[in-house]
Structure formats: C-alpha cells, structure tokens
Structure 1
Amino acid sequence: MIIDFHVHCFNDELAAKAVPQLAKCANIPARLDGTILSLKESMKKAGVDKSVVLSIATKPSQTEKINNWTALIQDDSIIGFGSIHPENENWKEELLRLKENGIKGIKLHPDYQKFFVDDKKMYPIYEVAIELGLIIIFHAGVDIGLPEPYHATPERLRRVIDDFPGGKFVAAHMGGFSYWDEVEKYLVGTEIYFDTSYSVRFMNEQQVRRIINNHGYKKILFATDSPWGDQSEEVQKIREFSFGYEIESAILGLNARELLGI
C-alpha cells in the first residue's frame, strides 16, 4: 500500500482560482488543477492507494466550512484532515466535531495562520487534540510563497514535542524546509514524524540518508505536496534510493497506515 500523507485539494470552484494564485505567489508550477478528480487520476497513474488531503483555514471564519468539506470528501481513497484556526472562538467544539466525524487529524500552518508554533496560546489546542487522539501535522520551515519570519522552525518544534510527550506530531517537509541542518540538530531522534513532501528532491542525498538512518525510518512518511509535486515522480524518487524492501515499504505506506490506524 502506498499512502501520500500530504496533498492539497479544493472544491472545484475554489480550485480554479486558488491554484493559479498560489502558483504565481510561490513561482512554482502546479502539476494538477487542485480538484479531487485530478488527484484521483494522479493516484491511479502513480499507484497511490490513499491520499491525505490537508486543508488550511487561513481565516477564523473559514474553519467550519473547511471542516464540513473535509468530512464530505472522505472515501476509500481519500483521507481528509481538518483545520483549526487559532483565533476561531469555537476551536474546541470544532475539534470535537472532527473527532465525531471520523477525521483523524488536523493541519496547522503557522505562517499562514500567523502564530509561532511554540507560543503558549496554542498549547490548549494541542492538549485537546492530543486528548482526542488526533494527529497534528505542521507546515515546517520555509514557505517559499511567504516572507520571513518563519513560524515553525526545528528549534521551536522541539519545544512543543518536549512539552507534549506522546503527542502524534508530524513535521512536514522533512522536518523543516531548508532548515535541514537544524532538523538534524533539534529534531532527529525525537518522537516526531517527518513527511517527505516537496523536500527530498532539493536535499543532498547523503543528508536524506543520514536523517532517515538517525531518526529512524519508521518515523518517515511518504508525501508529495500535490499539486506542487507529481505523485509518480515522487514515488520513483523514493525507490531510486534503493533502501531495500523493508524500509521502502515502511516509508511509502506502512508507517502512515500504522499512524492513521487503518
């Protein structure tokens, strides 16, 4: 089983506007049009069995609408993660509603949502999410479409995981896009998962191997950041490392399957 732990989609109307705008902002081409239909076509071509669709509430008022859509898109091949905006006054009720709807996790983007990941104001949200058994995935490191400061650096993430032992945390982009030396310093060997989204192709091969070896391959999740990464190309990229069957199978899907409880 291959599971892509990090993709982005929108409803059809929004996708037509959002994807070109985001592509222009980040100066990178979109590989898909951002709809669920195009994602499923990509999955079939790449041999991906399940994709985790991550949505982000960039405004407090978007939270409920996004979570409603997340619940609707779930099926045998699509796993939706909800979103919580820290300034939404009903965040606790939304977390409970996500849990009741069978949602397995939430995506937080500290840069878009304008909070530092180790800000104590976020701790009540983390605490409730952890109590509910929800996975928390953070955008981590640089966002190439946004200016500094970057709000989820490896050092800040280390404070969070130290303060919440046992939490199900995932740091996207191999722990922090363009912060990989700091990832090795602060996060490697700790109890946090890294996803491979939009990172491995930019990293030094030896550093990729060193991080996976020292962190433990069972805490690495295959991910593409589709529509910004091509699923077929990213699957092939992992296979080109020739990790061997056990490690490759774990990274491409078994680790995600265990984390998701499926």
Structure 2
Amino acid sequence: MIIDCHCHAGMGDGLTGPWDTRASLRDYLQRAAAAGIHRTVLFSAFHSNYAVANQEVARIVASGSSRFYGFAFVHAERDRGRIHKLIEIAVKRYGFVGIKVHRHDAAITREICAAARAYALPVLYDVAGEVSVCELLAQEYPDVNFIIPHLGSFADDWRAQLAVIDHLVRHPNIYADTSGVRRFDLLEQAVKRAGAAKILFGSDGPWLHPGVELAKIKVLRLPLSQENLILGGNFRNLIGIAGRRQAMLLAGGLRS
C-alpha cells in the first residue's frame, strides 16, 4: 500500500498564494490514482483559524472512507493555550492521527509537543530551513516522533538538507519526508546514511504532482523491503495506536 504522507486540502482564507487560498483535490486524486497511490494524509491549507480549517479537512477525510488520514494543523502562537483542546477534538471527534505545524506560522512550542505526547501522535513540522531545532526536539521529547518535510527545506537549501540527514542518523525520533526534494543525490544520501526506515514518501499535493514525486522513490531502485518502508510502512508504524483509533471512529461515523 502506497501512502502519500503530505497533502493539503480545503479552503484557505487568504489570497497571498495557492498555499493559503485553495487546495483542491480534484486533479490530485486523479493523478494519485494513476500513480498507484492508495491513501493520502491530508491537512489544511494555511488559514487564520485552524479550528475551522481542521473541521473542513475532517469532512473530507470522512467522505473518503478509508482513503484518507487526517492531521490537525495548529498555529503555535495564535492557538496558544488551546492546543491541547484542538488536538483532543481532532483525535476524539475527527479520528486524526497526527499534527502539522509550519515555521512560516510560528516556531513549534512545548505545548504542541506535550499534546503530541499525550495522544501518541507524530508531528510533521516544516522547519523552513531552520533545522537546528531538530536537536532540541530530539533531546527534549524523545518519546515524540517528528517528521521533517522536504528533507528540511522546500527552498532547496542543500546545507539544511545535509544537516537534516545528520539528525536522521543520530536521533531515533527524527524522520523526513521526500516532498519537493529536487536534489536526487541528497535523497540517495539520506537513504544510504540514515536508512530507509527514516524516510517517508510525500508529495506536497495538490500543488506538486504525486506521480512525479513517487517516481523519485522508484528510481532509487531500492530492495522491495526498503521501498515498501518509504512508501507506507514507516508511516503506518509512526501512527500506531492513532491509526487504529481512527479506523474505529470512522467505522462508527464522525461525532458532531
């Protein structure tokens, strides 16, 4: 089963770019199906109220039956003091299995990490090139798993991406996804040095083509067991209890 661990969905409420305006899944779903992608992790576009945005993502997740997983997007500063409540709603009402945080909004906080620990959720944290925080996260929250998208930098900062590879090697709870990584040699190096068990396939859909992003994993020409870890096995291991909780909740329908 191939799982895309990184895709936005729903309406944003801004107009500065696609990332905060609209994340339509129409084309993405056709492309993902053609590429053989079975399931997708969804979280919202950038939004000024993630409680509203997460609710919309929850409706999309519920409409797709077993097609989607949901991650709760939170803003470290604007949601300060209510992070735990937002995550509680996302887990118990929506069946979400992870947390999404972006440095573009604000730097990750202890409040977010504590909520992740409380509900045994992985955190997908876009560090936007500021990778030194991985050291602090790994030391302070060794029982929380962190996925660093884009190998640390969507802006092709090779220095940041090399630094993330070092963190992958040294810290058991630091992982990375492959979305938007253009330097193929760095993907090769990440797998060679850190191992396939530390890398997750992601596309950053709907704006990047999932088939193109998937092809980068295929041309690594890894043994099937390693490829299967990257394409879904690692994600299933990371969500663990949360994944089983989601299946039970969705089977009974979302609570209002």
For the superposition of Structure 1 and Structure 2, which TM-score range results when normalised by the shorter chain? 0.7 to 0.9
Which range moved further: 184-193 or 94-103? 184-193
Structure 1 residue 227: deviation in Å? 2.3
Instruction: In structure 1, list runs of 5 or more residues that go unmatched.
Output: 26-32, 143-152
- Structure 1 residue 165 corresponds to structure 2 residue 142: yes
Partner of 2:66: 76
Instruction: Note closer, same or farther for the CA distance 1:56–1:135 as it changes in structure 2 (3 Å cut).
Output: farther
- Structure 1 residue 224 corresponds to structure 2 residue 216: no
Structure 1 residue 2: deviation in Å? 0.5
Which residue of the other structure, out of 115, 124, 133, is the alignment partner of 1:137?
124
- Paired residues of 1:194 and 1:221 also in contact (CA < 8 A): yes
Deviations 1:220-248 (A, max 9, x none): 10011112321112222211111121111
- Paired residues of 1:176 and 1:183 also in contact (CA < 8 A): no
Which range moved further: 162-171 or 70-79? 70-79
- Paired residues of 1:2 and 1:47 also in contact (CA < 8 A): yes
Q: How many residues align?
A: 229
User: Secondary structure, in 3 states, of the residue corresponding to 1:174?
Assistant: helix
Whole-Å separation in 2 of the counterparts to 1:9 and 1:125:
22
Structure 1 residue 84: deviation in Å? 1.6
Partner of 1:148: none
Partner of 2:51: 64
Deviations 1:111-151 (A, max 9, x none): 1x133x4xxxx112211221111221011334xxxxxxxxx
Whole-Å separation in 1 of the counterparts to 2:184 and 2:217:
14
Structure 1 residue 57: deviation in Å? 5.1
Structure 1 residue 79: deviation in Å? 1.3
Structure 1 residue 56: deviation in Å? 5.1
Partner of 1:8: 8
Partner of 1:36: 25
Partner of 2:217: 238
- Structure 1 residue 95 corresponds to structure 2 residue 105: no
1:207-218 equivalent positions in 2, closer than 5 A: 207-218=186-197
Whole-Å separation in 2 of the counterparts to 1:246 and 1:223:
18
Partner of 1:198: 180
User: Secondary structure, in 3 states, of the residue corresponding to 1:72?
Assistant: helix
Q: Give TM-score, length-normalised by structure 2.
A: 0.81
Moved over 4 A (4+): none
- Paired residues of 1:9 and 1:53 also in contact (CA < 8 A): yes
- Paired residues of 2:121 and 2:239 also in contact (CA < 8 A): no
Which residue of the other structure, out of 17, 20, 41, is the alignment partner of 1:21?
17
Deviations 1:94-114 (A, max 9, x none): 111111021101110011x13
Which residue of the other structure, out of 92, 98, 101, is the alignment partner of 1:105?
98
- Paired residues of 1:106 and 1:135 also in contact (CA < 8 A): yes
Letter in 2 for 1:22: P
User: Secondary structure, in 3 states, of the residue corresponding to 1:8?
Assistant: strand
* Matched-pair identity in %: 24
Q: Give TM-score, length-normalised by structure 1.
A: 0.79
Which residue of the other structure, out of 36, 45, 48, is the alignment partner of 1:47?
36
- Paired residues of 2:146 and 2:174 also in contact (CA < 8 A): yes
Instruction: Note closer, same or farther for the CA distance 1:182–1:189 as it changes in structure 2 (3 Å cut).
Output: same
Letter in 2 for 1:238: I
- Paired residues of 1:195 and 1:222 also in contact (CA < 8 A): yes
CA RMSD of aligned residues (A): 2.3
- Structure 1 residue 260 corresponds to structure 2 residue 239: yes
User: Secondary structure, in 3 states, of the residue corresponding to 2:50?
Assistant: helix
Whole-Å separation in 1 of the counterparts to 2:162 and 2:233:
27
Partner of 1:147: none
